[in-house]
Amino acid sequence: MIYQYWNKEMETLERSALEAYQLTQLKAAVAQALQTPFYRERLAAVGIRSDADIKDLEDVRRIPFTTKGDLRTGFPYGFLSIPREEVVRLHASSGTTGTPTTIYFSKEDIHRWTAFVARSIYATGCNKTDVFQNMITYGLFTGGLGFHFGGEAVGMLVIPSGSGNTTRQFKLMQDFGTTVVHATPSFLLHVQAKMQEEGVRREQLKLTRAFAGAEPYSEDTRRRIEELLRIDVYNSYGLSEMNGPGVAFECQAKNGLHLWEDGYLGEIVNPETLEPVPDGETGELVLTCLCREATPILRYRTRDLSGFYTEPCPCGRTHRRLRRITGRTDDMLIINGVNLFPGQIEEVIMAIKEVGNNYLILVEKEGVLDRLTVKIEVGSEVFRDDTRPLNALKERIRKTLQASITINPRVELHQQGSLPVSEGKARRVLDQRPTV
């Protein structure tokens, strides 16, 4: 494999030099943060009054964490650290509850962000001969414009198709010879199911790659999309608080996501003690933005669970790789006292070949107990007059799930295409238990 680099010097910079660069950027981020009343107060409380109080990278641990709640209290302009006239764009997080969190960008911030997205795209082997269909929501969500600008910077022909409307997506793919797409993994699975329904043959498409992110998915789901669509799928990770896409991305070795450490300082902490976990272990990812002036954010608790791989990547990049994000510290379900991440269910069912592209986890109260139902789509060939194969499959899925999650679920099988599909982030969990 020949690996290509967008910014070879930075991507392969020796660790000591990379860390020296991070320290310079961290000092700049602290100086910028001190321009906001929020951080002035927070940092003063721990004795940080100027960037001179940050002497080495370890000093990052003196800085208090920032949470989504903190960002909300600053809505709308509390975290803005440059004059309003210098701001050229804002984005807001998709936030499932309450006040959104808003991030502001200066011209320079947009350039820096774009360069990280371009670097990510280029690391997957794309170049200006590619036609890139960006099948994700444009607007306040960062995925649309973030990839759009990054794709243009690489020189690809960018089709701003947005999400949804598969018929139109297929038409665009055929008309312009799309080679690369960006979407959520669930939308990619939906696209594949629709291809069959609408009679679009794989040979009519020129697809080679997809960037899939914005929601957790398993390695099995990745493989499934790759096999069904006959493309390479690269995991794309980002969050609006850290600009958006282009925070961490898989290279062609596809063995974890390189965190672009010249732009983002990463730590993995135990979500309960908030102390660093030993090298290589899983914990909550905490990020400090090192590449933005308009909205400095230090030690942001992402709630995303990951960990660093410790061995080097064959691609030669020195930026550490994050393991696939398996879930968040806050999507954990507790079912009759047993902790469960929706991703665990996905991992099990997506490894079963009869299972289709969509599923839904339903949690209800039945008497005093919690009841877990997993609704799963399966191919229509299983639905016959003779219900024995269907029942056998159902029982096999139930047993496999139970063995893995230690909870006995109810399993329902549904016809392909009959469960609700969302065009943005998939809503896979319906928790109908009354809140206590």
Binding mask of the shown chain, residues 210 to 249, with x at each position contacting Zn ion by CB under 5 A: ----------------------------------------
Q: Nearest approach, Cβ of 311 to Zn ion (angstroms)? A: 11
CA distance 90 to 294: 10
> Is residue 302 involved in binding ligand AMP (CB under 6 A)?
yes
Element holding 288 (H helix, E strand):
strand 283-289
Candidate residues 188, 239, 315, 374; the one interacting with ligand AMP per rule CB under 6 A = 239
Rg (CA), the chain: 22
- Report the residue number, 33 or 313, with the smaller CB distance to Zn ion: 313
One of 213, 266, 307, 356 touching ligand AMP (CB under 6 A) = 213
* Interacting span for ligand AMP (CB under 6 A) from 190-198, 229-237, 361-369, 415-423: 229-237
Binding residue (CB under 6 A) for ligand AMP from 74, 216, 263, 283: 216
Q: What is the DSSP letter of 51?
A: G
The residue length of the chain stands at 436
- Our finding on whether 253 is near Zn ion (CB under 5 A) is yes
Region of 111-119, 317-325, 355-363, 375-383 interacting with Zn ion (CB under 5 A): 317-325
Q: How many CB atoms neighbour CB 427 within 10 A?
A: 14
Residues 130-189 that bind Zn ion (CB under 5 A): none
Dihedral sign computed on CA atoms, order 178, 179, 182, 185:
positive
Q: Does 323 bind Zn ion (CB under 5 A)?
A: no
Q: Report the alpha-carbon distance of residue 368 to residue 361 in Å, rounded.
A: 19
Q: Which of 25, 137, 169, 240 binds ligand AMP (CB under 6 A)?
A: 240
Is residue 237 a contact point for ligand AMP (CB under 6 A)? yes
Binding mask 317-346 for ligand AMP (x = CB under 6 A): --------x--x------------------
If the CB atoms of residues 102 and 240 are measured against ligand AMP, the closer one turns out to be 240
Q: Any contact of residue 378 with ligand AMP (CB under 6 A)?
A: no
Q: Please report whether residue 5 would count as binding Zn ion according to CB under 5 A.
A: no
Give me 428's structure tokens.
């896979």
Q: Return the range that interacts with ligand AMP (CB under 6 A); candidates 73-81, 168-176, 207-215, 382-390.
A: 207-215
Cβ(291)–Cβ(113) below 8 Å:
yes
What minimum distance in Å lies between the beta carbon of 101 and ligand AMP?
8
Using alpha carbons, list the distances in angstroms from residue 96 to 92, 331, 343, 425, 427: 12, 12, 19, 11, 11
Q: Which of 245, 45, 283, 75 is nearest to 144 (CA)?
A: 245
99 counts as binding ligand AMP under rule CB under 6 A: no
* Residues of this chain, 135-154, that bind ligand AMP according to CB under 6 A: 142
Binding of ligand AMP by 190 (CB under 6 A): no
> Nearest distance from residue 241's CB to ligand AMP, in Å?
6
Alpha carbon distance, N-terminus to C-terminus of the chain:
55
With H, G, I as helix, E, B as strand and everything else as coil, classify residue 417.
Answer: coil
Phi, psi of 18 (to 5 degrees): -65, -40
313 touches, from ligand AMP, Zn ion, none (C-beta below 5 to 8 Å by class): Zn ion
The strand pairing partners of 87, in sequence order, are 106
Instruction: Determine contact, residues 200/225, Cβ cutoff 8 Å.
Output: no
Q: Which of ligand AMP, Zn ion, none is residue 315 near (CB under 5 to 8 Å by kind)?
A: Zn ion
**β-bridge pairing 102-106 and 131-134:** unpaired
- Residue 41 CA: distances (Å) to CA of 31, 32, 53, 289, 302: 13, 14, 15, 19, 22
Cα 55 from Cα 26, distance rounded (Å) = 10
Binding interface with ligand AMP (CB under 6 A): 93-94, 142, 213-216, 235-240, 302, 304, 325, 328
Which residues of the chain form contacts with Zn ion (CB under 5 A)? 251, 253, 313, 315, 317
